[in-house]
Structure 1
Amino acid sequence: MTEHQYDESKIKTLSSLEHIRKRPGMYIGRLGDGSHPDDGIYILLKEILDNAVDEFIMGHGKRIDIHIGEDGLCRVRDYGRGIPLGKVVECVSVINTGAKYNTEVFQFSVGLNGVGTKAVNALSSHFTVTAFRDGRYKTAVFAQGLLQREEEGETTEKNGTLIEFLPDSESFPGFRFDPQYVDQRLWRYAYLNAGLSLYLDRDLYLSKNGLLDLLDREVSSERIYPPIHFVDKSIEFAFTHTDDYGESYFSFVNGTYTSEGGTHLSAFREGILKGINEFTGKKFNGLDVRDGIVGILAVKVQEPVFESQTKNKLGNTDIRGPIVNAVKDAVATHLYKFPETAEVLVDKVQRNERVRRELQSVRRDAKAKAKKIAFKIPQLKDCKYHPSRGQASKPGRENMLFITEGQSAAGSIVSARDPMTQAVFSLKGKPMNVLGQRLDVLYKNEEMYSLMQALNIEDSIADLRYDKVILATDADVDGLHIRNLLLTFFLHYFEQLIKQERVYILETPIFRVRNKEKTFYCYSDRDMDEAITALKVKSKADRAVETTRFKGLGEISPPEFKQFIGQDMRLRQVRLDRLSEVSRVLKFYMGKNTPERKQYIMDHLIVRPV
């Protein structure tokens, strides 16, 4: 066996852009193909748009033009000040180069570490930057971060910057921009920057009322009082209450969405509590004040400290006190000015308080009953590894809970699973339809209570014991009904679990098509037809091809099932487009409107010819 020599020749020094290409996850979080809203191609687009929006924030340019071609080529043109012509190449290719370190030029910008545009350059097969400034322009063309050519001269174009990039197919194989995800991002920019016009070709994204428009979009009909809205130079917020359970927030720093919150969000929550208590002269519990709240917060921070390059969570501790005080004063002042709003809000808090106290005895009874049954949750086959509270596991080490129907399906998964990271909760029958039910029903229903305990989300979603919650139901009508009942359960009582995108649906094959040489597992009728055709071409007789339909997960043997929950597991993430749709969709599909639903099914029924 040859021992590899470790000497000076083994030490490598990568250029900054080479390092980005070698370790892209450090800079953009994940790669992907565009099928998930956090995939890298959207981060590339975001980095370029952030720079354009920063110009608007600083008072330069009220319009941004965007184009995304069918081949994935992106073009972003702003009408700000334009990159100084002598620094165009450095600003897009040398890390730690930029004007955003100079707080006199950029007071409230998103990108402060000088990496964003360089990452886009390094991860693009084609990247062109053109700066227009005071009648002159300069263009630089790159390929995979390497400078190809430069050009400069006179121009009649308005000041600003034009960037064109094509994500590199080596880093993003088979990528495609999903119009829905792009639309969502552009509307966020519009809501956070009232008065900014973003044009995606001819489509205009423009908000006149900022966060109020976003809140109306999310909870237009469910709110119980007009939103409380406040805006000044460095903070803007809006919130209202609904009759739903839990609390929902959208938080932003310098225009970027902080999906994991941070110090600004915790300060916002504390400020709301203190403001209401100051107005009422009482000491309400934070849970009572915030249950049913939907809030949006946007802050501008001169030197934000994010916990990652993708800026999901703010870490600045020095801003906590000022935000708490600003929110407290604004809330108390608003309640004094609008007594009708104050009356409805305080009544909501008092109702929350009564419900919580009524639930205390129900919770005690439920816990006492659970202890009598067993020390462990009987339907749960747990795994050995669990993430720390509030911390997501590292990629490749995520643990997960499969929720299955019946013992046969659970048996297949239990036999095939990895006991280190995969747990199984088996339902005894169809779960209860909890739509419209009070919270105490959750504690009186043994199965729903056991599921909540297995997940450990009674007190807070942050206590969730699993990285992924996976609905593993049969691919038939009953399985679909059970899946919908479970989704109703989570959306009704634990909406944050869905909002944080922790719930998934397991896709398992419906058919197995095989001959003596090869086996295909098919997830649709089309897959099955294609598999049969492929095998018949190689077979001399039709009878050599065997087709089996799996009626349920329990019919798939454990050795076969192992591959469907292993490395090649197919999962569909459950995501919310907007909160306002949840109530409407649940009432239609799970409510008591049976005749209306029956007519809808008849109108949209598709019969497959035999």
Structure 2
Amino acid sequence: MSEENQVQYTEDSIRSLDWKEHIRMRPGMYIGKLGDGSAQDDGIYVLVKEVIDNCIDEHMMGYGKTIDVKITDHRVEVRDYGRGIPLGKVVDCVSKINTGGKYDSGAFQKSVGLNGVGTKAVNALSNYFKVQSYREGQTKVAEFKQGEIITDHKIGSSSGRNGTLVAFEPDGTIFKNFHFIPEYLNDLIWNYVFLNAGLTINFNGQKFHSENGLRDLLERKTDVENIRYPIIHLKGNDIELALTHSNQYGEEYYSFVNGQYTTQGGTHLAALREALVRTVRDFYKKDFDATDIRASVVAAIAVRVQEPVFESQTKTKLGSQNVAPDGPTMRTFVNDFLKTELDNYLHRNPPVADALLKRILQSERERKEIAGIKKLANDRAKKANLHNKKLRDCRVHFSDKSKERAEETMIFITEGDSASGSITKSRDVETQAVFSLRGKPLNCFNLTKKVVYENEEFNLLQHALNIEDGIEGLRYRKIIIATDADVDGMHIRLLLLTFFLQFFPDLVRHNHVYILDTPLFRVRNKKETIYCYSEEEKRAAIAKLGNKPEITRFKGLGEISPDEFGKFIGDEMRLEPIIIKKDTTIKQLLSFYMGKNTPERQDFIVDNLRIEKDLVEETAA
């Protein structure tokens, strides 16, 4: 290689980034993944949390019982009534890394945001950011754009109550096509009030308040009429637990540290799962299988920890081994609490102890009933996996947590060879896998888990996802149902959702299941091509391009060329998350849509039926 072509590596090659440049260039280091808002842990929700966390810390210190939150399509406003940021440090607190009030552990011993980065990241990643502090009749305002200060007002007088106001608009060049999903925001706000009894959050005109903490959380997350025994609610110093068993498959947990929802669990959740098994075995004096004890459990645990260590900046998984620097291990702390409090509760409440025992024995019977067929099915699946034509796998997997792109992994479940062919040719082989269905899957509503092993297709899908023993080993971050937007495609979509909701509801609860939204129309002229996902978008495209553009209607995924398909599963991919709403239980949902034809369902179909003539008239209008 000639000297002229060699890249010179000199002092001039070394570049120092200032704080905002570094955050904008490497946002994942500060807020996890970016995303468009379709996933519950996407960056835009982390921005909201970082701001509210500061208000919660003030509340925990005894300042302010109310927080006002207003979120519109692209703007967030949060106002607390704590002490307010000291006026002389307002600008520094939101624009200087390692500046904050939480380095004095005496003031914020069990705080959520300890790293002094949170609001700075929000500031740097916002197209507009405003902070205003109110203290003792005075106020200070500063405004920023992408971390750069644009107005720095002098301290003035104010009649506002003490506290802090933060408003921001996420930067659309970083969070492309972002949108807030109301259900995710509601869950976020509810978790804050469940963990802070007595706190009121006014969110978009609705009042959120809880008196009973984690018991209220479980009542919201379960069908109270169908749980096996009343919710057990236990509280101690720096620990709170709510627990029951339901009639569904899987284990369901909600874990929190210092008010932070640890969606990926951590040492406190591992300690709970272990301590529950140990306590139950000791109480009944029988060596039950751990899976039988935990089957169908629904539990929430919250702990307060001094100087918590999380495994990432977004604080979704607790790594702390100890409750405090010189305190007991998390394992000992949680185990001692359950050993005393849960054991006492079961002794004092014999009907609950009897109901729990019946649930464990039922799980034991169900496990033994399918043991034989399970072994045969697994042997079949292992042989099929050697040359599984249904699965075109990717190289990186979600279970490979150490790999850089693990969070980007996804699997598309398609119908037939034509659709899977287009996706397979245009996918990213590093992170995108394809599983091809043969025809319509079985309607498994009201069937037992035995059918998962008896049905070859379900068994192969379960093995492809690696979810037989729970979702801890899940191989793909997103499970995407990619079917045609016709009657057959919709039916296959329903049958797959029934399979996941019936046997693996944790996948839906933890935001792993999505529907792929693909374009219905292509509108183009010689200069520009626009893909449209609705009649409304088609009309807008026609108006934009004018002069009678060429319009193509896509009837199925197989009609979209691989080159085009690459756009719809790449940066421009649109996904609809599957969300179970608060007032809907899985049993009710599946009974209504997949059960026997009832008068209620017939009425629903008649009331919502729309014929082609109506749609044509709407389009013309």
TM value normalised by structure 1: 0.89
Name the Cα RMSD after superposition: 3.0
- Equivalent residue number for residue 93 of structure 1: 95
The one-letter code sitting in structure 1 at the alignment partner of 2:386 is K
The 5 Å alignment of 1:511-590 reads: 511-512=521-522, 521-529=531-539, 537=547, 545=550, 547-550=552-555, 552-558=556-562, 560-578=564-582, 580-590=584-594
2:445 is the alignment partner of 1:435: yes
Distance, in Å, in 1 between the alignment partners of 2:380 and 2:571 is: 39
The one-letter code sitting in structure 1 at the alignment partner of 2:483 is T
2:183 is the alignment partner of 1:204: no
Residue 398 of structure 2 contacts residue 477 of structure 2 at CA under 8 Å; is this kept in 1?
no
- Equivalent residue number for residue 63 of structure 1: 66
Q: 1:346-397, CA deviations, whole angstroms, 9 ceiling, x for partnerless residues?
A: 11011111111222112123234556x7563644243251427362753498
Residue 191 of structure 1 contacts residue 213 of structure 1 at CA under 8 Å; is this kept in 2?
yes
The 5 Å alignment of 1:266-305 reads: 266-305=270-309
Of residues 460, 463, 467 in structure 2, which corresponds to 1:453?
463
Residue 138 of structure 1 contacts residue 150 of structure 1 at CA under 8 Å; is this kept in 2?
no
Structure 1: runs of 5 or more not aligned: 540-544
The one-letter code sitting in structure 2 at the alignment partner of 1:305 is V
Deviation at 1:285, TM superposition (A): 1.6
2:506 is the alignment partner of 1:480: no
2:135 is the alignment partner of 1:137: no
Q: 1:399-421, CA deviations, whole angstroms, 9 ceiling, x for partnerless residues?
A: 43322223343344445545554
- Please state whether the residue corresponding to 1:490 is helix, strand or coil: helix
Residue 79 of structure 2 contacts residue 163 of structure 2 at CA under 8 Å; is this kept in 1?
no
Residue 258 of structure 1 contacts residue 314 of structure 1 at CA under 8 Å; is this kept in 2?
yes
Residue 218 of structure 1 contacts residue 579 of structure 1 at CA under 8 Å; is this kept in 2?
no
Range that drifts further, 100-109 or 375-384:
375-384
The one-letter code sitting in structure 1 at the alignment partner of 2:144 is A
- Please state whether the residue corresponding to 1:100 is helix, strand or coil: coil
Distance, in Å, in 1 between the alignment partners of 2:475 and 2:39 is: 24
2:124 is the alignment partner of 1:122: yes
Distance, in Å, in 1 between the alignment partners of 2:73 and 2:553 is: 40
Residue 191 of structure 1 contacts residue 209 of structure 1 at CA under 8 Å; is this kept in 2?
yes
Deviation at 1:272, TM superposition (A): 1.3
Distance, in Å, in 1 between the alignment partners of 2:527 and 2:116 is: 56
The one-letter code sitting in structure 2 at the alignment partner of 1:223 is I
Structure 2: runs of 5 or more not aligned: 323-329, 617-621
- Equivalent residue number for residue 542 of structure 1: none
Range that drifts further, 385-394 or 327-336:
385-394
Distance, in Å, in 1 between the alignment partners of 2:347 and 2:335 is: 18
- Please state whether the residue corresponding to 1:19 is helix, strand or coil: helix
- Equivalent residue number for residue 105 of structure 1: 107
2:41 is the alignment partner of 1:38: yes
Deviation at 1:214, TM superposition (A): 1.1
User: Against the structure 1 CA distance between its residues 602 and 475, is the aligned structure 2 distance closer, same or farther, given a 3 Å change threshold?
Assistant: same
Distance, in Å, in 2 between the alignment partners of 1:402 and 1:517 is: 32
The one-letter code sitting in structure 2 at the alignment partner of 1:426 is S
Distance, in Å, in 2 between the alignment partners of 1:533 and 1:200 is: 38
User: Against the structure 1 CA distance between its residues 345 and 113, is the aligned structure 2 distance closer, same or farther, given a 3 Å change threshold?
Assistant: same
Q: 1:105-125, CA deviations, whole angstroms, 9 ceiling, x for partnerless residues?
A: 112110011111222333345
Deviation at 1:268, TM superposition (A): 1.1
User: Against the structure 1 CA distance between its residues 44 and 415, is the aligned structure 2 distance closer, same or farther, given a 3 Å change threshold?
Assistant: closer
2:335 is the alignment partner of 1:324: yes
User: Against the structure 1 CA distance between its residues 348 and 305, is the aligned structure 2 distance closer, same or farther, given a 3 Å change threshold?
Assistant: same
Deviation at 1:32, TM superposition (A): 4.8
TM value normalised by structure 2: 0.88
Deviation at 1:562, TM superposition (A): 4.7
- Please state whether the residue corresponding to 1:489 is helix, strand or coil: helix
- Please state whether the residue corresponding to 1:554 is helix, strand or coil: helix
Distance, in Å, in 2 between the alignment partners of 1:119 and 1:36 is: 20
- Equivalent residue number for residue 186 of structure 1: 189
- Equivalent residue number for residue 47 of structure 1: 50
Q: 1:245-268, CA deviations, whole angstroms, 9 ceiling, x for partnerless residues?
A: 100111111111111111111111
Residue 67 of structure 2 contacts residue 78 of structure 2 at CA under 8 Å; is this kept in 1?
no
User: Against the structure 1 CA distance between its residues 103 and 415, is the aligned structure 2 distance closer, same or farther, given a 3 Å change threshold?
Assistant: closer
Q: 1:501-558, CA deviations, whole angstroms, 9 ceiling, x for partnerless residues?
A: 222222333345567777655433444555566666156xxxxx464542x3334455
- Please state whether the residue corresponding to 2:75 is helix, strand or coil: coil
2:476 is the alignment partner of 1:466: yes
User: Against the structure 1 CA distance between its residues 75 and 407, is the aligned structure 2 distance closer, same or farther, given a 3 Å change threshold?
Assistant: closer
Distance, in Å, in 1 between the alignment partners of 2:209 and 2:123 is: 29
Residue 124 of structure 1 contacts residue 168 of structure 1 at CA under 8 Å; is this kept in 2?
yes
Q: 1:69-114, CA deviations, whole angstroms, 9 ceiling, x for partnerless residues?
A: 6762514122x23334454443333222223222221121100111
Of residues 361, 375, 396 in structure 2, which corresponds to 1:364?
375
Distance, in Å, in 1 between the alignment partners of 2:36 and 2:479 is: 23
Range that drifts further, 340-349 or 271-280:
271-280
- Equivalent residue number for residue 327 of structure 2: none
2:274 is the alignment partner of 1:265: no
Range that drifts further, 264-273 or 23-32:
23-32
User: Against the structure 1 CA distance between its residues 377 and 570, is the aligned structure 2 distance closer, same or farther, given a 3 Å change threshold?
Assistant: farther
- Equivalent residue number for residue 237 of structure 1: 241
- Please state whether the residue corresponding to 2:298 is helix, strand or coil: strand
Residue 523 of structure 2 contacts residue 551 of structure 2 at CA under 8 Å; is this kept in 1?
yes
